[in-house]
Chain A
Amino acid sequence: MKKILIENVKKGDVLAKDIISGNNLTALKKGVTLDENIIKRIKRLTLINSGFEGNYIFIEENSAGNEKNIEKELSLLAKRFEDIDGDGFMRGIKEIIKSAILKNYGRN
């Protein structure tokens, strides 16, 4: 589980804790995979509970949704670089960007 800024949640992230609204009702259940609408909803709501601290929420690390997103981003990266993969300097840049993508998903 990791705590991230609400502004930084992405499609495919999976909630690691319930989100309870101000009137003490469960707004979103643990395990929900976030899509654009849910993210908008989270951003709109003013919530207080254990799953929501200030501007942060808790999401699962290495969730299945993330796996798909990582796979997609890495495949797009490979496509962007496919014509210049023979160049050492360009391969170096590709590796740097690959590391940044993985780090963005909490991988090192």
Chain B
Amino acid sequence: MNIQNKPKRRGDILYELVSSIKRIKDIPTLPKILSKISEEMGNDDYSIKDIGELMSLDISFSSRILRMVNSPFYGFPQRIYSIKHAIVLLGANVLKSIVISTSVFTIMKEAMEGLWEHSLFCAFTAKYIAAMLLNGSDKKGNKMSKENGIADADMMFSAGLMHDIGKVITAIAFRDDFKKIMIIAEEDKRPLTDIEHDILNISHDQLGYMLAKEWNLPSSIYLPIKYHHNVNLASEFKTETAILNLSDFLTRAMGIGYSGNTYIEKINTDTVNILNIDLNFIKNIVEEVYPFKNELSIFD
């Protein structure tokens, strides 16, 4: 479906886009069980026991979660054998995003070769950066803490996993336009979001935001997704947005997976300023995370 050149107002186009996305059968819908869990979590008095029991009902669902949380990318020192244990350690929102991402794993692999690897590595890097900022200090030696706005490492993993989910939507709903966008991005060396706007009037960051919101993920996940290419526009969760932007940039700079651009742009100066980082900080991150690229094959 091509919505290019239709003389409609932006609001109409967005409405049409969202409606058409909802009509497409292949679009990743939340597993029914996850809707039940979301409902359950909406109650103020929800219990981990009840959510754990709901999650354990679906074996493939449980095994997907356990495979991810026991992977080197999550890095728990001990093996996690039960969903209940995973919920206690990770929190239900983080588990939810892991379930969503692993549910769209196959679609992601088919939609764009390398996107899954890019997303997983971005998630891993984001988690690592958040933990590094929380446990260590910035380049000026200022101690960072949750109180002065540093991100939750597990939540950052979720945002990283989901940040390009909008590309999956474009690849499925607008297959021809998606191919065209990829070709132009490669030939013109222009940012993907600019070309997406030219052709679709919307970009993957906005689509991903809409989807994450629709799936009732928290704002600490959907807002960084919305602004991960426009860090300067984020008025809330600035640190989280900057971490996501840096993780995305570094994953592409390291050449891990593929997200639609062979060429990288200059590092975002807003990100550098918000996180107060320098080359030494980047060196520490790259040295720690890069060797894990050898582990990506465990999800093949």
Number of A residues near B (Cβ < 8 Å) is 25
Taking a contact as CB atoms closer than 8 A, the residue among B253, B262, B263, B295 that contacts A97 in the complex is B253
Decide if A104 touches B290 in the complex (CB within 8 Å).
yes
On chain B, the residues within 8 Å of A79 by CB distance are 262-263
Contact residues in A for B279 (Cβ distance below 8 Å): 89, 92-93, 96
The yes or no answer to B90 lying at the interface (CB within 8 A) is no
Contact string, A83-108, partner B, CB cutoff 8 A, digits 1/0?
11001011011101101110110000
Report the minimum CB–CB distance from A37 to chain B (whole Å): 13
Inter-subunit contact A80/B287 (CB<8 Å): no
Query: A89 contacts B294, CB within 8 Å?
Result: no
Residues of B within 8 A of A82 (CB): 263
A10 touches B (CB below 8 Å): yes
Is B255 interfacial (CB-CB < 8 Å)? yes
Judge whether B283 is part of the interface by a CB distance below 8 angstroms. Answer: yes
- Bound CA–CA A97/B253 (angstroms): 8
Q: Report the minimum CB–CB distance from B255 to chain A (whole Å).
A: 5
B286: A residues at CB distance < 8 A? 96-97, 100
Q: Taking the nearest CB of chain B, how far is it from the CB of A76, in angstroms? A: 5
Quick check: B287 and A100 within 8 Å, CB to CB? yes
Given A7-B294, A100-B290, the answer on whether A93 and B255 have CB atoms closer than 8 Å is: no
What distance in Å separates the Cβ of A20 from its nearest Cβ neighbour in chain B?
A: 24
**The one of A10, A83, A96 that contacts B282, using a Cβ cutoff of 8 Å:** A96
Distance in Å from the Cβ of A39 to the closest Cβ of chain B? Answer: 8
CA distance A100 to B294 in the complex (A): 12
**Residues of chain B lying within 8 A (CB to CB) of residue A76:** 255
Cα-based distance from A2 to B295 in the complex (angstroms): 18
B1 / chain A contacts, CB cutoff of 8 Å: none
Interface flag for B254 (CB, 8 Å)? yes
Decide: B267 and A89 in contact? CB cutoff 8 A.
Answer: yes
Does residue B39 face the partner (Cβ distance < 8 Å to A)? no
Closest to A79 in B: B262
* Most-contacted residue by chain B among A7, A77, A80, A93 (CB, 10 A): A93
Q: How far apart are the CA atoms of A7 and B291 in the complex, in Å?
A: 12
Give the dominant DSSP class at A's interface: helix
Question: Is B265 an interface position by the 8 A CB rule?
Answer: yes
Within 8 A of A (CB), among B258-300: 262-267, 279, 282-283, 286-287, 290-291, 293-295, 297-298
Contact A104 B267 (CB under 8 A): no
A80 touches which of B263, B290, B291, B297 (Cβ 8 Å) = B263
A84 to B297, CA, bound (A): 31
Which residues of A20-54 are within 8 A (CB) of B? none
| Shortest Cβ distance from residue B120 to the other chain A in the assembled complex, whole angstroms | 15
Decide if A80 touches B294 in the complex (CB within 8 Å): no
A residues within 8 A CB of B263?
A: 79-80, 82-83
Check A80–B189 contact: CB distance below 8 A.
no
Known contacts A92-B279, A97-B286, A104-B290; A80/B252 CB under 8 A: yes
Chain B residues in contact with chain A, CB under 8 A? 189, 252-255, 262-267, 279, 282-283, 286-287, 290-291, 293-295, 297-298
The contact sample of 23 A-B pairs, CB cut-off 8 A, is: A7-B297, A7-B298, A79-B263, A80-B253, A80-B264, A81-B253, A81-B264, A83-B189, A84-B265, A89-B266, A89-B267, A90-B266, A92-B279, A93-B267, A93-B282, A96-B286, A97-B254, A97-B286, A97-B290, A100-B290, A100-B291, A103-B287, A104-B294
Using a CB–CB cutoff of 8 Å, the interface residues on chain A facing chain B are: 7-8, 10, 73, 76-77, 79-84, 87, 89-90, 92-94, 96-97, 99-101, 103-104
- 19 extra interchain contacts, Cβ-Cβ under 8 A, other than A8-B294, A84-B266? A79-B262, A80-B253, A80-B255, A80-B263, A80-B264, A83-B263, A89-B266, A90-B266, A93-B267, A93-B282, A96-B279, A96-B283, A97-B254, A97-B286, A99-B287, A100-B254, A100-B287, A100-B290, A104-B294
